[in-house]
């Protein structure tokens, strides 16, 4: 079995699990929208994630994405597992101790952080954001445990436990949010925050049995002198710097958004969640599946296989995300109506959410590709270059926010994020090609052009179908459901037919992935 086939096999399972998890995530968002609408309390809830997420990515996310898996994969590939477990233990102990200290400090200084983050909030919403932030600050410590466990299992190319964990995570949020919610009391939105903490614990616990099966070995030590620990720290440092600097983009977005019409940040958040759906289901799954293979190929200096794996991953992502992007542009109104428009979420809220969604969807493919390209650098144990390029793209995105927020309001903030992603994608492509000498660019460009032509035709046909159904069924709940379902089916059929006529290799790859899932039922 080729590396591309192995990647597709693992990605197929991850996509299925991510699909279930994301659907649960939208049930969660839909539930919150129906219970609380698009108000200051939901803005406070979304803002409360910023500080906990910052701490997690500062100490855990960067380590896992850039250093942990490549280094551990190298030990496994070279049959030095015992040394690998000593490195794992040292790194885990360092992370846990530092993270606990930062969480305590963050709980103390949460009011000051919230005041800096969202100065346009009312005193009531600031107080609610502080309360929610302190609840959610319990999450990073638990997520650190599950994240490290996931990193270990992924290094052994075991992916299913963490995928199941994300399903449990969203299930807990829905359960606690429903039990605790009181639409007449905005503070009861805290039920969703408690669900996040419990869900993080469930995510960790479900991975423990698989961790024990691979032969868990824990050492109560911190060895800064070990070459493996030093390598992880040195590789993680630039990623930590990047994630810290990226918070300037989040702060600017929240700062500008908090001064707009109340609920603008919630509209951006809901539309961002929709836009992240295909990125999370497809691109992230492929990125997670391909990363250990890239790390192993880099460690064994298999350059040709390395390029082949990158090319296959990117071409598959392009084939999947370009039609989804165009389809979401055409069907964005029925999509929002079906998912969110009920209870206190009004038709005016749908109109407001559709604006940033339009601009976000233009960047779906770029955001998807940058789930792969940095991992290629990380596998080569070069973490500084993607950071430098990411900071350049971030600076451009922030500049665009200030330029576009005036004429486009919250839509301008979304468009600025998209422009930053496109810039980052092209910079990563250019530098990686220079570093490797080749990146299979002609095949990737050919796939993009054929996919874009096929998706454009699909979009036109779905648009005609949409106008016909709206004139017949209207834009009510059932009309929107029928339009969304039939429009997606029509688009899928048209796109599949056209790409099959083009005899695209990626069509075969996608069908092979689906065939493995349904015929064999294994990952």
pLDDT score for 150: 82
* Band of residue 519 on the pLDDT scale cut at 50, 70, 90: very low
Average the pLDDT over each of 9-23, 99-113, 114-128, 271-285 and give the range with the smallest value: 9-23
Is residue 26's pLDDT more than 80? no
- Across 59-68, 205-214, 361-370, which has the greatest mean pLDDT? 361-370
- From CA 458, how far away is CA 185, in angstroms rounded? 45
pLDDT score for 76: 76
Is residue 328's pLDDT more than 80? yes
pLDDT score for 6: 60
* Band of residue 523 on the pLDDT scale cut at 50, 70, 90: very low
* Band of residue 78 on the pLDDT scale cut at 50, 70, 90: confident
257 is written with which tokens? 């958004």
Average the pLDDT over each of 22-26, 93-97, 360-364 and give the range with the smallest value: 22-26
What Cα–Cα distance (Å) separates residue 104 from each residue in 34, 98, 134, 198?
Answer: 34, 10, 10, 19
pLDDT score for 517: 42
* pTM metric for this prediction: 0.72
DSSP string, 307-348: HHHHHHHHHHHHHHHHHHHHHHHHTHHHHHHHHH-STT--HH
- From CA 186, how far away is CA 177, in angstroms rounded? 12
State phi, psi for 262 to the nearest 5 degrees: -50, 135
pLDDT score for 518: 38
Which residues does 202 contact at the CB level (< 8 Å), separation at least 6?
165, 168, 169, 171, 172
Average pLDDT for 481-500: 94
pLDDT score for 289: 78
Which of 296, 442, 426 lies closest to 373, judged by CA? 426
pLDDT score for 180: 84
Average pLDDT for 165-175: 89
- Sequence-distant contacts of 433-439: CB under 8 A, at least 24 apart: 435/380, 435/382, 435/385, 436/303, 436/306, 436/307, 438/307, 439/307, 439/310, 439/311
Is residue 294's pLDDT more than 90? no
Average pLDDT for 483-504: 93
90 is written with which tokens? 């040292």
Is residue 65's pLDDT more than 60? no
pLDDT score for 358: 95
Greatest alpha-carbon pair distance for the chain in Å reads 71
Portion of the chain with pLDDT greater than 70, in percent: 92
Q: How far apart are the first and last CA of the chain?
A: 14
- From CA 143, how far away is CA 200, in angstroms rounded? 6
Is residue 300's pLDDT more than 60? yes
pLDDT score for 447: 94
Which of 408, 313, 297, 291 lies closest to 352, judged by CA? 408
- From CA 48, how far away is CA 50, in angstroms rounded? 6
Average pLDDT for 436-458: 93
Of 416 and 43, the structure prediction assigns the larger pLDDT to 416
pLDDT score for 253: 81
Q: Where are the beta strands (DSSP E) in 378-510?
A: none
Q: Are 486 and 469 in contact (CB under 8 A)?
A: yes
What Cα–Cα distance (Å) separates residue 257 from each residue in 51, 123, 246, 419, 510?
Answer: 17, 17, 17, 18, 39
What Cα–Cα distance (Å) separates residue 183 from each residue in 29, 98, 180, 196, 420?
Answer: 15, 38, 10, 19, 37
* Band of residue 520 on the pLDDT scale cut at 50, 70, 90: very low
Please return the burial class of 87, using the count of CB atoms within 10 Å of its CB with bins 0-12, 13-18 and 19+: buried
pLDDT score for 155: 74
1 is written with which tokens? 């079995």
What Cα–Cα distance (Å) separates residue 13 from each residue in 164, 270, 308?
Answer: 11, 26, 21
Average pLDDT for 93-121: 88
- From CA 225, how far away is CA 412, in angstroms rounded? 48
Q: What is the pLDDT of residues 238-260, one digit of tens each?
A: 777 777 777 778 778 878 877 78
State phi, psi for 16 to the nearest 5 degrees: -65, -45
Is residue 357's pLDDT more than 90? yes
Mean pLDDT of the chain: 84
Q: Are 313 and 287 in contact (CB under 8 A)?
A: yes
């Amino acid at each position: 079995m080729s590396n591309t086939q192995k990647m597709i096999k693992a990605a197929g399972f991850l996509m299925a699990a991510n699909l279930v998890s994301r659907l649960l995530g939208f049930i969660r968002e839909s539930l919150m929208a129906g219970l609380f609408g698009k108000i200051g309390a939901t803005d406070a809830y979304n803002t409360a994630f910023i500080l906990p997420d910052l701490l997690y990515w500062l100490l855990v996310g960067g380590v896992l994405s850039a250093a942990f898996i490549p280094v551990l994969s190298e030990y496994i590939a070279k049959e030095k597992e015992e040394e690998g477990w000593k490195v794992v233990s040292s790194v885990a102990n360092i992370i846990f101790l530092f993270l606990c200290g930062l969480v305590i400090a963050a709980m103390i200084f949460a009011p000051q952080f919230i005041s800096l983050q969202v100065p346009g909030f009312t005193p009531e919403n600031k107080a609610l954001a502080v309360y929610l932030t302190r609840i959610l600050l319990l999450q990073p410590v638990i997520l650190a445990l599950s994240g490290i466990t996931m990193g270990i299992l992924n290094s052994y190319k075991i992916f299913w436990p963490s995928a199941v964990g994300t399903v449990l995570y969203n299930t807990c949020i829905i359960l606690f949010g429903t039990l605790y919610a009181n639409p007449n009391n905005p503070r009861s939105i805290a039920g969703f925050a408690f669900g996040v903490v419990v869900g993080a614990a469930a995510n960790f616990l479900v991975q423990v049995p698989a961790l024990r099966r691979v032969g868990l070995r824990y050492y109560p030590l911190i060895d800064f002198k070990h070459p493996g620990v030093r390598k992880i720290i040195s590789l993680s440092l630039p990623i930590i710097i990047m994630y810290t600097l990226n918070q300037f983009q989040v702060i600017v977005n929240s700062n500008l958004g908090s001064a707009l019409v109340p609920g603008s940040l919630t509209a951006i958040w809901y539309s961002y969640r929709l836009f992240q759906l295909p990125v999370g289901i497809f691109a992230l799954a492929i990125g997670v599946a391909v990363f250990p293979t890239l790390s192993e190929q880099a460690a064994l200096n298999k350059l040709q296989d390395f390029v082949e794996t990158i090319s296959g991953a990117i071409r598959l992502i392009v084939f999947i995300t370009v039609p989804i992007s165009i389809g979401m542009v055409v069907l964005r109104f029925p999509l929002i109506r079906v998912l969110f428009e009920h209870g206190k979420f009004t038709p005016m809220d749908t109109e407001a959410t559709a604006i940033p969604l339009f601009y976000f969807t233009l960047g779906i493919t770029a955001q998807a590709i940058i789930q792969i390209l940095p991992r290629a650098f990380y596998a080569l144990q070069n973490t500084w270059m993607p950071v430098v390029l990411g900071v350049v793209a971030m600076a451009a995105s922030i500049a665009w926010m200030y330029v576009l927020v005036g004429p486009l309001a919250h839509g301008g903030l979304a468009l600025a994020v998209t422009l930053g992603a496109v810039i980052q994608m092209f910079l990563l492509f250019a530098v990686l090609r220079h570093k490797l000498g080749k990146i299979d660019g002609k095949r990737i460009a050919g796939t993009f052009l054929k996919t874009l032509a096929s998706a454009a035709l699909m979009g036109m046909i779905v648009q005609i179908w949409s106008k016909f159904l709206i004139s017949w069924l209207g834009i009510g709940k059932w009309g929107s459901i029928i339009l969304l379902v039939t429009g997606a089916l029509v688009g899928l059929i048209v796109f599949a037919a056209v790409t099959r006529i083009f005899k695209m290799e990626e069509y075969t790859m996608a069908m092979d992935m689906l065939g493995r899932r349904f015929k064999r039922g294994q990952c």
